[in-house]
């Protein structure tokens, strides 16, 4: 009888702890939403707490680091080690094609533009090759002014300007140039060159300025963490959606870098978000690395007003 009483006490204690943690987590989420969820300026919105679908990737894509949509219902994904891209079909829920394009390395972003695949490496190099049914090809390496110090992680494409967008996770400036914040450079796909100056820069100052103008709260600069891990262009609005795994944040900007909206990301929904893309009709896809388990892709449909 005494044993049963002890078990009951332990169970009640465990339930109390779980309830307390649940309340703390819920309170934290509500607090984050009240301070960092700012979407008033957007006509198209998403609920990042309620994905429509969750697709677990095969183990070969445990460290999925970049996404681009391939109609009608698949994505091209790149992992950050193998030197391959993988076509994952959402209907079949499996990889249906892969292309080895270079030796292993730290690959971070991928974009499909017409029939050409562009893959971004962390030191700024861009690899390009035609997308086809072959399983192996030799990509052309395009070097530029960026380096490993910039730690380039995000690659997007703006169809209106015909430019690739490269997001720097670390150092913003090129060479000895110093910039406060994370820099975003553009590369014209005809010349495959970038300029010495970024198109725009986003850092704690810009984020705090945006939040303070929308929320009556005193934000602490040193607590703002923003390091871009992916970028995609919305197919209808043309806005840039910039994902930051560090700080768990999604930022929406104009093509000039003006901050329009911010979404906090729940670590319980996306543990390590590293890739982002849109379908032509505007469905949002975000990938997360598996951290020892399978990576996954979440689908978010537009919110109904």
In this predicted model, what pLDDT tens digit does every residue of 236-284 receive, in sequence order? 999 999 999 999 999 999 999 999 999 999 999 999 999 999 999 999 9
149, 130 Cβ separation under 8 angstroms: no
In this predicted model, what pLDDT tens digit does every residue of 36-51 receive, in sequence order? 999 999 999 999 999 9
Confidence band of 79 (pLDDT split at 50, 70, 90): confident
pLDDT on residue 24: 40
Q: Give the DSSP per-residue string, 26-67.
A: HHHHHHHHHHH-B-TT-SS---TTS-SEEEEPPGGGTTEEEE
Q: Which residue has the tokens 């043309």?
A: 238
Q: If you average pLDDT over residues 148-168, what whole number do you get?
A: 97
pTM value is 0.89
Contacts of residues 51-54 at CB distance under 8 Å and 24 or more positions apart, as own/partner, are 51/269, 51/298, 51/299, 51/300, 52/283, 52/299, 52/300, 52/301, 53/90, 53/298, 53/299, 54/296, 54/297, 54/298, 54/299
Question: To the nearest whole number, what is the mean pLDDT of the chain?
Answer: 89
């Amino acid at each position: 009888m005494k044993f049963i009483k002890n078990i009951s006490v332990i169970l009640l204690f465990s339930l109390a702890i779980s309830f307390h943690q649940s309340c703390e987590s819920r309170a934290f989420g509500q607090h984050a939403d009240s301070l960092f969820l700012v979407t008033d300026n957007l006509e198209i919105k998403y609920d990042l707490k309620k994905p429509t679908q969750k697709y677990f990737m095969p183990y070969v894509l445990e460290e999925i680091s970049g996404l681009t949509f391939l109609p009608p219902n698949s994505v091209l994904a790149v992992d950050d080690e193998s030197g391959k891209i993988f076509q994952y079909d959402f209907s079949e829920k499996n990889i249906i094609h892969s292309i080895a394009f270079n030796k292993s390395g730290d690959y971070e972003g991928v974009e499909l533009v017409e029939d050409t695949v562009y893959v971004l490496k962390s030191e700024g190099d861009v690899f390009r090759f035609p997308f086809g049914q072959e399983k192996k090809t030799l990509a052309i390496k395009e070097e530029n002014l960026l380096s490993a110090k910039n730690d380039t992680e995000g690659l997007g494409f703006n169809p209106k300007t015909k430019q690739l967008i490269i997001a720097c996770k670390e150092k913003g400036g090129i060479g000895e140039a110093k910039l406060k914040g994370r820099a975003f450079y553009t590369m014209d796909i005809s010349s495959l060159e970038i300029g010495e100056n970024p198109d725009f820069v986003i850092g704690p100052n810009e984020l705090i300025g945006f939040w303070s103008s929308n929320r009556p709260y005193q934000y602490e600069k040193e607590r703002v963490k923003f390091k871009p891990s992916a970028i995609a262009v919305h197919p209808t609005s043309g806005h840039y959606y910039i994902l930051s795994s560090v700080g768990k944040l999604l930022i929406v900007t104009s093509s000039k870098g003006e901050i329009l909206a911010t979404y906090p990301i729940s670590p319980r929904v996306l543990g390590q978000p590293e890739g982002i893309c849109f379908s032509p009709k505007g469905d949002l896809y975000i990938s997360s690395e598996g951290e020892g388990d399978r990576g996954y892709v979440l689908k978010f449909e537009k919110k109904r007003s």
